[in-house]
Amino acid sequence: MKNIRVVDLTSVLSGPFCTWLLSTLGADVIKVENPNGDIARGTPPFEDGISLYFASLNRNKRSVVLDLKSEEGRKALHKLLATADVFVENMRPGVRSHLGCSDADLERINPRLIRASVSGFGQTGSLSQRPAYDIVVQAMSGMMSINGPLGGPATRVGFSVGDISAALFATIGILERLYRRDAQGGGPGPALDVSMLACQWVCLENAFARYLNAGIVAGPIGSRHPSMTPFEPYPTADRDIVIGLGSSKDWPHFCETIGQPELIDDPRFAGDEARLEHRDVLDEILGGHLKQKPSSHWLALMVDNGIPCSAIENVASIAESPLSAESAAFSEVEAPPGRTMRFARNPIADLGQSELAAPELGQHSGEILAELGYSEAEIEALYG
């Protein structure tokens, strides 16, 4: 994505995650902030006065401050958009029109500009003006209804899946529009209208497939799989481990591996449907057997025999694991004042790519405006 310029008029999570992904693929991302900055700059926790939340999501970007309430600020934004390939925003639907950035305005300013809007419920429709945060969208989409302990209350997924999935779909859409425009010689296509709610529905594909075609209403089942077992955590003598069998052909080999060959011919467990029907009994048998030895014994045995399994890790154990280094899971950035910060790396970005620290508010204002042809006097007047 070299020579692709992205104007980023986003804040908090969904939009900034999308534009961060684009930056790791080589795009020049210019973050446009109002004089108070992205509100995420004030989100704790902080290290040396820097919000870790903001620092993670805004790597590799340049920051320009524009007062979009002023005519001069809006004019500068339009000049910037005239030089851009992509425009991403996650403001309340309708706000960009007040900035002179309606679809018609943007077509006039830059007919090659790819436009992407990320919002809770889409740019039109009865819900478009409602405020949305991740937990609201998780509740409204049905995501919470299938998450949580077996038979327990609906529970929010433990990360902002509503924001992140919308960011991923927006990124895919932008890349498709760039391909359509540049490789196929077409126009930029219609504006992308990315709804967090609609993206959550797609993520619930299996739950909807079962309801729409078989009338099955999914509910919270803890870490179990709705269609397969064993496929969940099991206790051992020291801690829980996860075992996941992907098909019936794995069942006999699994039973032999853990020293329970008598289960192979037990009619209660002969086939996927039978095991699901007698899942509680099977869990009791497996749990009692696996508790006899520590997790290290079972994991070594199953790994050697090709049985999908794992200890249940946490962020600390992963960060300190040699596997994270082997997979280049994290990137390092030089951040003021002279310190190194580490963050999760985009796994499809080029290996060895260095990342830049998130910008200070307005750090590149003069630089960017000079690129647009503003003189020093005009820049001073704009910020006077």
- 258 DSSP 8-state letter: T
CA distance 105 to 323: 50
Q: Show the DSSP H helices in the chain as ranges.
A: 14-24, 52-57, 71-82, 95-98, 103-109, 134-141, 161-182, 196-203, 205-214, 250-257, 272-277, 279-290, 295-304, 315-319, 322-326, 365-371, 376-382
Say if residues 327 and 334 touch (Cβ distance below 8 Å). no
DSSP state letters, 242-255: EEE--STTHHHHHH
Q: Which of 143, 87, 91, 98 is CA-nearest to residue 119?
A: 91
Strand partners, 86: 6, 114
**Does 225 participate in catalysis according to the annotation?**
yes
Residue in 225, 278, 289, 297 annotated catalytic: 225
Q: Which of 7, 10, 9 is CA-nearest to residue 113?
A: 7
Residues with a catalytic annotation lie at 225
